[in-house]
Amino acid sequence: MADSKDFLIEQLTNNLEILRAGAKLTQEATAKAIGISRQTYCQIENGNAKMSWSVYLSLLLLFSSIPGTADLLRKLGIRVEEIMNDLNEQIRS
């Protein structure tokens, strides 16, 4: 799962600016919504810091709850349902 987590994190990181713009959110608003500082979010979005798995899940939840970005996630191949199913399977195991 570590390799797939790294892949998923990289995939989301590479599309953060597009997703945030699609959600019409500032870096400040995005950071506040997921409970991190704007500086930390900016570092992640600019590729200067690696996103943690908990930040990944928080961003996924945020963007999947906004109709415009939920569609964009699917177009980018980021399948929220599959990720949630995998997490549920891990919890049950």
Note the pLDDT tens digit of each residue in 69-87. Answer: 998 998 888 878 787 777 7
Q: What pLDDT, in 10s, does the model give residues 14-73?
A: 999 999 999 999 999 999 999 999 999 999 999 999 999 999 999 999 999 998 899 899
> What domain range includes position 14?
2-92
Q: What is the CATH number of the domain that holds 27?
A: 1.10.260.40
The upper half-sphere exposure of residue 77, i.e. CA atoms within 13 Å in the direction of its Cβ, equals: 6
Give the largest Cα separation in the chain, rounded. 39
pTM listed for this prediction:
0.85
Q: Which residues of 18-44 are buried (b: 16+ CB within 10 A; e: fewer)?
A: ebbebbebebeebbebbebeeebbeeb
Overall domain count for the chain: 1
